[in-house]
Amino acid sequence: MAERNPGTKLELGWISKVYVNRPEVVRHAEQIKKWRTVKGNWQAAWLLKAVTCIDLTTLSGDDTPSSIHRLCFKAKHPIREDLLKALDMHDKGITVGAVCVYPARVTDAVNALKAAGCNIPVASVAAGFPSGQTPLEIKLAEIKLAVQYGAKEIDIVISRTLVLTGQWEGLYEEIRQCREACGEAHMKTILSTGELGSLANVYKASMIAMMAGSDFIKTSTGKEVENATFPVGVVMMRAIKEFYWQTGYKIFRHVTGSYPLQHDLAMA
C-alpha cells in the first residue's frame, strides 16, 4: 500500500480566495478526451494495470456470505485465463486492488480471501455511507468496527452539508477524527462531487480532506445522480498537485464507476 498522508494543520488561506474558471476547466477536459491512446500491447498493458487498481465492490442490500465469496473469487481471477496466457501474463498474479463491502460483510470477505490464499486487502465503506447524514459518534464507531473486523482500507463519505454551508473547520475536524479512528487502515474520503454545488467547492473539499489526513480522495459513492465527470477530475487533480507542492505528500485520486467496456480485454 501507499505511504500514509500524516495530514497538516488547517490552512484556510489555501482555499479562501479560490476561483475556478469553469469554461477553461471544461475546455481542458474536452481536450483530454481527444488525446491519442496507446494501442496494441501497450493498451493491453495499461488495461491490466488498471485492473490492479480496481476496488471490486458490492454494496447491495441483498449481499450474503455466498455472494461475497463469489466476489472474492472474481477479485483473485479478474481476467479470463486464456487471455492472460495469450498475453504471457498468466503467471504474474494479476488481481484487483481490493474488495470493498459494507462493514457487516467485512468478516465474510476476509475469510473468503484467506481461504483463497491471496492477500488482497478488504476495504469497507463507513461513516454514514452513502448520505453522510449520520451523527459523528456513529460514524466513528462504524469505522472502528470495520477495522476491528479486518478492513485495511476505509471509505468514508463527507457531510455535504458542511461544504454547502461553508463550515470548513467543521469538515476538517470531522475528517480528522475519522482518520484517527481508522488507525493503521488507509482512508479514502468520498467527496460526492455531484452534490457539492460548484467546482470551487470540489477544490476546497479536496484540499480540506487532504489537510485532514486522507490517503485518497474519491469522486463519489456511485449512488448520486451525477458521479465522476472529466471537469471534476481536472479540478481534483489540480488540488492534489497543489497539496503536493505545499507539503510534499502524494495523495491518490479514486474514481467511482463500473468496468470500461474493452472489446479486446474481456473480464472473466
Please say whether the beta carbons of 160 and 187 come within 8 A. no
- List the beta bridge partners of residue 79: 267
Point out the catalytic residue in the list 76, 144, 188, 218. Answer: 218
**Cα separation of 198 and 207, whole Å?**
15
**Residue showing cell 461544504:** 163
Classify residue 83 by burial, with Cβ atoms within 10 Å: 0-12, 13-18, 19+: middle
Is 139 annotated in the active site? no
User: Rounded to the nearest 5 degrees, what angle is found at the Cα of 169, between the Cα atoms of 163 and 173?
Assistant: 100
- Name the active-site residue from 49, 85, 241, 250: 250
Mark whether 62 is an active-site residue: no
Catalytic position from the list 155, 188, 204, 215: 155
Nearest to 215 by CA among 150, 114, 123, 141: 123
- Check if 250 is active-site: yes
* All three cell numbers of 35: 488525446
Active site residues: 155, 218, 250
